[in-house]
């Protein structure tokens, strides 16, 4: 499945913008525009680091990108990290892991399994733990959980993970096209009418109020 050529990710040291290096700067700029439009969240003032695997963009291109991020989106570019190795993106990021990987391992958590689609006007709340939906969450339907929410279908309605404030909670859906996502007190309303990307995605709280969505 084709990944997006730019991916915004949250790491312990803040947001990183990962850029797949085999594209022209025009394509990268366009991909950034699409990705940010899809997120539909205020990014002004947010600090970001640009990560690339190979130095395929020229220095002029990089300068252009930096200006673009600063002027168009009001973001602060705090650094640029280019690995000249081949391919493997973990090379760049080293031991810094995405936030979701911080989940405490080996702990048994309470989880409620719901074996039906949550339709318009219906809600499913499970403040005590995680929620797994074997179905869809339709527009007008709402699910909330103290921990993570996993939708093994399409999430088209609203989901609130970490409803008691647990910011390490995540929302996963096979098909993530929500009206609204909330993790702890971070809210995102992805732009309306998004088509599914055709692969499972995960949403997690980034830094500075931003909810990050990426391929699972």
Question: Which residues of this protein are in contact with another protein, per CB under 8 A?
Answer: 116-117, 119-122, 135-136, 138-140, 154, 156, 195
Asked whether the beta carbons of 50 and 73 are under 8 A apart, the reply is no
Q: How far is the CB of 120 from another protein (least distance, A)?
A: 4
Nearer to another protein, 179 or 210 (CB): 179
Which two three-digit tokens encode residue 204? 């997690």
Q: How far is the CB of 123 from another protein (least distance, A)?
A: 11
Q: Is 211 helix (H, G, I), strand (E, B) or coil?
A: strand
Q: How far is the CB of 200 from another protein (least distance, A)?
A: 17
Q: How far is the CB of 116 from another protein (least distance, A)?
A: 8
The sign of the CA dihedral 93, 26, 190, 80 is positive
Nearer to another protein, 47 or 117 (CB): 117
Asked whether the beta carbons of 209 and 56 are under 8 A apart, the reply is no
Identify any residues that bridge with 203 across adjacent strands, giving them in sequence order: 171, 213
Identify any residues that bridge with 155 across adjacent strands, giving them in sequence order: 137, 176
- CA distances to 46, 64, 114 from 61, rounded to whole Å, are 21, 5, 49
Which ranges constitute the DSSP H helices of 94-174?
Answer: none
Nearer to another protein, 141 or 146 (CB): 141
Q: Mind giving me the DSSP string for 34-98?
A: HHHHHHT---TT-EEEEEESS--S-HHHHHHHHHHHHHTT--EEEEEEE--SSS-THHHHTT--B
Q: How far is the CB of 194 from another protein (least distance, A)?
A: 13
Nearer to another protein, 82 or 152 (CB): 152
Nearer to another protein, 38 or 66 (CB): 38
Nearer to another protein, 141 or 147 (CB): 141
Q: How far is the CB of 14 from another protein (least distance, A)?
A: 36
């Amino acid at each position: 499945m084709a990944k997006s050529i730019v991916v915004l990710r949250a790491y312990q040291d803040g947001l990183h913008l990962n850029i797949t290096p085999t594209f022209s700067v025009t394509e990268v700029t366009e991909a950034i525009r699409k990705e940010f439009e899809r997120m539909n969240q205020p990014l002004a003032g947010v600090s970001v680091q640009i990560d690339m695997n190979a130095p395929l963009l020229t220095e002029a291109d990089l300068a252009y990108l930096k200006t673009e991020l600063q002027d168009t989106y009001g973001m602060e570019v705090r650094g640029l990290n280019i690995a000249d190795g081949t391919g493997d993106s973990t090379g760049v990021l080293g031991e810094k892991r995405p936030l979701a990987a911080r989940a405490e391992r080996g702990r048994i958590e309470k989880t409620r399994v719901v074996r039906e689609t949550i339709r318009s006007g219906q809600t499913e709340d499970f403040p005590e733990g995680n929620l797994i939906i074997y179905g869809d969450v339709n527009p007008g339907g709402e699910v909330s959980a103290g921990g993570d929410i996993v939708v093994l279908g399409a999430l088209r309605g609203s989901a609130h993970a970490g409803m008691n404030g647990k910011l390490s909670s995540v929302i996963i859906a096979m098909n993530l096209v929500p009206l609204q996502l909330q993790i702890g007190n971070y809210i995102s309303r992805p732009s309306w009418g998004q088509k599914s990307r055709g692969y499972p995605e995960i949403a997690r709280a980034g830094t500075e109020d931003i909810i990050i969505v990426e391929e699972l």
